Amino acid sequence: MALKLERGTTIIAATHNPGKARELATLLEGRCEVVAAGDLGLPEPDETETTFTGNALLKARLAADRGGKIALADDSGLSVRALDGQPGIYSARWAGPGKNFADAMKKVEERLEEAESDDLAAWFTCALAVAWPEGPAVVVEGRIDGTLTFPPRGDKGFGYDPIFIPEGGKLTFGEMDPAEKDAISHRARAFAKLKAALFD
């Protein structure tokens, strides 16, 4: 039997990041009721996998098994070509325990200066995993390419959004209207694949 997400199902967004939880709920287009893992008091797992898909699956499985409901997890990050793909899966960790992304963006700029590279090519990757309690899971991945800009611009979005300009654009993700960003982002591209797999 094909796996499907029924309309009206309550699912756990396996994140403790309010901005990410809102984006996940928006991208589900009201099909499902979304409750964040942080609001349920569920633990944040150690992200011990070496890929975005591995970490997304790890988070989804933990939330589903602990919360007793279908869980949706996202693992995403910024990769910089001149830094050999860093920070990549360590994107959140570059922000430190306080999740200070101003520091993380400064770190990217400093690393580029150390590398003496003027190559500002970068991309965002998003892996999405949906897991059923003690059951199967579906994992997909989306990507958007672009370039970096410094200093950061815009106060919308979250994370590294203020230093990333998507390919063909002029505004950073941090300057774009959230709906405009949601239409083209790495997360939107991953969601398109997820919808094709799980929605009627």
From the candidates 75, 145, 177, 182, which is the catalytic residue? Answer: 75
- Whether 96 is covered by a domain: the verdict is yes
- Whether 190 is covered by a domain: the verdict is yes
Please state, in angstroms and rounded to a whole number, the distance separating the CA atoms of residues 46 and 60.
12
Tell me: pLDDT of 63 over 80. yes
- Whether 76 is covered by a domain: the verdict is yes
> Confidence class of residue 1 from pLDDT cuts 50, 70 and 90?
very low
- CATH number of the CATH domain containing 137: 3.90.950.10
- Whether 4 is covered by a domain: the verdict is no
- Whether 1 is covered by a domain: the verdict is no
- Whether 43 is covered by a domain: the verdict is yes
- Whether 167 is covered by a domain: the verdict is yes
Tell me: pLDDT of 179 over 60. yes
pTM for this one? 0.88
Domain count within the chain: 1
List Cβ<8 Å contacts ≥24 apart for 97-100: 99/17
- Whether 5 is covered by a domain: the verdict is no
Tell me: pLDDT of 200 over 50. yes
Domain span including residue 106: 10-198
Containing 71, the helix (H) or strand (E) segment is: strand 71-80
- % of the chain residues with pLDDT over 90: 67
Neighbours of 107 (CB within 10 A): 16
pLDDT tens string 124-167: 999 999 999 988 999 999 999 999 999 999 999 889 999 999 99
Tell me: pLDDT of 2 over 60. no
What is the rounded average pLDDT of the residues 183-197?
A: 91
118 carries an active-site annotation? no
